[in-house]
Structure 1
Amino acid sequence: MARVDPAAPAGPRSGRVAPERVRQPGNRRTPLPHGSSSFALLAEVLLVGLVVAILSIPVLTILPALAAGVVHLRRHLDGRGDRVADLLRLFVVACRGVWLVSIAGVGAVLVLGFNIWLLRTAAADAFRLPGVASGVVLAALAVVLLRSAGGWRPGSAWWPAVRAAARRSRDDLRGTGMLLIALVLAGVIVWMLVPLALVVGGLLALAVLAVERHADGGSLAPTEGAFLTRTPTRTDTPDTPDTH
């Protein structure tokens, strides 16, 4: 008969099943679920950053590229297929129906950025209040777009994702603050060394994924469906329906 540790809890407190951490030789557990490691995650983040940077060159594709990167990192942490081909396929799916959102987002960023730029001209005194207000709105818009990328799922519409992201940004002020810090750090990294812009996309995708999982109580996010070809990396779990 197996011994039962009296100090161990009878079951999960919240009804969620904790992600399994695979044991390595020497009876050590991996630091991340499903056999992933910190080094493997870093390599995946760098790869995602490079792919997101390339896919974002047309500018209007920044949002779907970032959304695909977030889903790709989620699949990696869930022990599911995480090939570059899967990431590209996710990007193609994310581009469906995103163009109005992208055009509106880029247009708003250009207008707000122009108002902020006026603060550095001779007309700074006249545009001080609009410039400061534009900076606040631009920061809020950036957070909403990041959370839209984090809340998007393959097959879902973009406008509902944006509306849901706006509500989450308002209700989860801690996560909003964390994303603002991530944006500032990303800007500092690029300012210090411009070529590091090639990895910023992966870092932002990881930050968005961390904030969304924290907002969900630390549970594993729902999987994204079976439209991608899965590969048996680490552990492969059945698809579960998207509840978001």
Structure 2
Amino acid sequence: MSLMMDAAASTGRSGRTRRAERAARRAELSGSGPTREEVAPARFPGARAKFALFGEVLLTGLLVTLAGILVITLPAALAAGIRHLRRFIAAEDSRVGLFWTDVARAVLPGLAVGAGAVVLALILLLDIDVARSGFLPGGAVIEVVGWAGLGALALALLIAAGAWTPEAGWRGALRAVPGLVRADLPGALYVVATAVFVGVVTWALPPLFIPAIGCAALAVVAIPERRRGR
């Protein structure tokens, strides 16, 4: 009887130990708990839970859509969404309230950026439409230039939104765009491809803008990190 009781107690202790180890392992992977000394901490602990990251991308897309519904507020919404995803991936405080705090800081100075982007986009779209009409000589070339201009505009907006901070402001973010593009030309092409993806899926089915813009925010966070991780 004593042997059986000892065996049962040993089994109970073993089960508790395994449960504690599993809990510690989950905390280590998520970034919410300490890591073992022999294991290097994850670079992006918030990205280890793939389904949670997917849900956060969808939430970010919804938040950016709501904050950018006036179109001219879209740069501020993107900047806040990108900062929100950075905090989540780094396993930092990523409450939704912080997103709206960033929107409040970015929106008024960002109105000029948004209005300028809208005007420029309308001019380029008009050029493309006129070029397609056949009334202008060299219409095909003008159309290509128009689409290239839209791609450059989208690239500048996404990179500036990623570079925006409350300290640097929009002026500092816009000034940083050329240097960031020169430093990573392949990454700039990836960002342009992301903008094309958002445009295509939105054209195909407008409600898809919500997840697409969330993916764009994630791309702005992830693309520069691919070089740092090498």
Q: When the two structures are superposed, what TM-score results if normalisation uses the length of structure 2?
A: 0.76
Q: CA deviation at 1:45?
A: 0.4
The separation in 2 between residues aligned to 1:213 and 1:159, in whole angstroms, is 24
* Corresponding residue of 1:49: 61
In 2, are the aligned partners of 1:52 and 1:202 still within 8 Å (CA)? yes
Taking structure 1 as reference, are residues 112 and 40 closer, same or farther at Cα in structure 2, changes over 3 Å only?
Answer: same
The separation in 2 between residues aligned to 1:30 and 1:118, in whole angstroms, is 55
Residue 186 of structure 1: which of 177, 183, 198 is its match?
A: 198
* Corresponding residue of 1:82: 94
Q: What is the number of residues matched between the two proteins?
A: 196
* Corresponding residue of 2:70: 58
The separation in 2 between residues aligned to 1:133 and 1:84, in whole angstroms, is 40
Deviations 1:168-198 (A, max 9, x none): 1133111011112112222232233321112
* Corresponding residue of 1:95: 107
Q: CA deviation at 1:87?
A: 1.0
Q: Does 2:166 match 1:143?
A: no
* Corresponding residue of 1:118: 130
Deviations 1:37-86 (A, max 9, x none): 11111111000101111111111101010000000000101111212211
Taking structure 1 as reference, are residues 26 and 205 closer, same or farther at Cα in structure 2, changes over 3 Å only?
Answer: same
Structure 1: unaligned runs, 5 residues or longer:
1-22, 220-244
Structure 1 SS opposite 2:109: coil
Structure 2: unaligned runs, 5 residues or longer:
1-20, 31-41
Structure 2 counterparts to residues 142-221 of structure 1, below 5 A: 142-215=154-227, 217-218=228-229
The separation in 1 between residues aligned to 2:24 and 2:175, in whole angstroms, is 48
Q: CA deviation at 1:124?
A: 5.4
Taking structure 1 as reference, are residues 103 and 188 closer, same or farther at Cα in structure 2, changes over 3 Å only?
Answer: closer
The separation in 1 between residues aligned to 2:60 and 2:192, in whole angstroms, is 21
Q: When the two structures are superposed, what TM-score results if normalisation uses the length of structure 1?
A: 0.72
Q: Which amino acid aligns with 1:100?
A: A
Moved more, 93-102 or 27-36: 27-36
Among all aligned residue pairs of Structure 1 and Structure 2, give the percentage whose two residues are the same amino acid: 34
RMSD between superposed Cα atoms in Å? 2.4
The separation in 1 between residues aligned to 2:72 and 2:197, in whole angstroms, is 23
* Corresponding residue of 1:30: 29
Deviations 1:127-155 (A, max 9, x none): 33332212212211211111001111123
Q: Which amino acid aligns with 1:37?
A: A
More helix by share: 2
Taking structure 1 as reference, are residues 102 and 192 closer, same or farther at Cα in structure 2, changes over 3 Å only?
Answer: closer
Taking structure 1 as reference, are residues 97 and 122 closer, same or farther at Cα in structure 2, changes over 3 Å only?
Answer: same
The separation in 1 between residues aligned to 2:163 and 2:141, in whole angstroms, is 33
Taking structure 1 as reference, are residues 187 and 24 closer, same or farther at Cα in structure 2, changes over 3 Å only?
Answer: farther
